Amino acid sequence: MLKKLNGTIVTHLAITLSLNISATLLSLLIQHFGFTEVNVVVIYILSVLLTSRYTKGYTYGIVASVISILSFNFFFTEPLYTFSVDDRNYIFTFMVILFAAIFTSALTSKLIYSKELADEREKQSQILYEITSSLAKTGGVTDVATVSAQCLSSLLGCDTTFIVINQKENTVQKLTAPKSGRGITVKDINSEDIETITANHYTFPITVRGKRVGLVCLPKELETMTKENRFLLDSVIMQITIATQREILTAEKETAKAETERERLKSSLLRAISHDIRTPLTGITGAAEMLLQKLKDEENIKLVQGIFEDSGWLIRLVENILNLTRIQEGHLAINIQLEAAEEIVAEAVSRASKYAPNHKISISVPDDVLFIPMDGKLIIQVLINLI
């Protein structure tokens, strides 16, 4: 960079001296043909303007102004070929020329700077537009990382690394694009390697909702980039962050949609199966009830009674499954009525005791009858599940 800076200074000084020498030779020529000193002054001011046009900054314009005054004094005022001034009027003339030259030089430099700034901003806007357009066509975080690495590599002319951090799957990918902009290298790395990579690079974290999902790694020497280039780079990083966030949110939305669809299908399947099971169970319960009314043998009555109770339990189980699907879909109708707490508890214990014949279930109820607003069927099932 120092060599480049020195080369720029030498080039601008050469332009300044060349224009001054050309102005001096042209002035000597027109003086030979009888033109006045006013024309000479105009030529020197023109050389200062040209110097300001083809150099950067105010310094070279001021240097050109001073050299023009000295050249005018040396070649065109008496005594010639010295820096002495016999006529005091020339001192005022020199001051006016110097002021005019510096003013026009500063104005020209400012206009040139404004034009260069406008061109630079237009160029940056075009670059951002192209990068944004490329990112808009991506599909997935890895695709965003690939396009981002290639765009930054081409823009900055350096090797660019993009690290994709997938915290959900606990994986880390390293994508590297060479400065040529052609091809990209993808490699799986360990999370411990991230610290080593960041220590040797100029890094920009990609954060979505407070979580680091990626890292843009550039060569260390780019830390000393100009303010304008840093602004452009920050703008590109912002676009990359927005694109990454968009892809993550899209993936989460698709996952949630698939999960919802999966739950809907599961509920539909459970509902269909439950309906198919409940129909024959109802028939079994009805048949068992009829047999209980006709049978007289104690042993057969006991067996049929077991069938009747078990089929009733299965019907209630199917009903619970249906209620579960209704709860998940938000369609469960709750029938709230005043129920006697003692009766609800007694019914729950009666049903549950059959499945725990070797356990003693003790209950405690108040002396007064307690009525509570509830859905009796659902509360009984809850108590059975708890018991």
pTM: 0.54
Q: What pairs with residue 371 in β-bridges?
A: 340
The per-residue pLDDT for range 238-248, each reduced to its tens digit, is 988 888 888 88
Q: What pairs with residue 175 in β-bridges?
A: 162, 186
**What is the chain's mean pLDDT, rounded?**
80
For each of the domains in the chain, give its residue range(s) and CATH number, in order of start. 2-123 (no CATH), 139-224 (3.30.450.280), 255-331 (1.10.287), 334-387 (no CATH)
Average pLDDT of 280-292? 80
Predicted pLDDT at 3: 39
The per-residue pLDDT for range 353-369, each reduced to its tens digit, is 766 667 777 777 777 77
Helix pair angle (37-54, 89-136), 10° resolution = 20
Query: Which position has the higher pLDDT, 266 or 173?
Result: 173
Average pLDDT of 344-349? 82
Predicted pLDDT at 247: 87
Query: Tokens standing for 291?
Result: 């047999």
Q: Which residue has the tokens 């009766």?
A: 343
Query: Tokens standing for 28?
Result: 């000597």
In whole angstroms, what is the distance from residue 343 CA to residue 370 CA? 10
**The pLDDT of residue 24 is above 50:** yes
In whole angstroms, what is the distance from residue 209 CA to residue 227 CA? 28
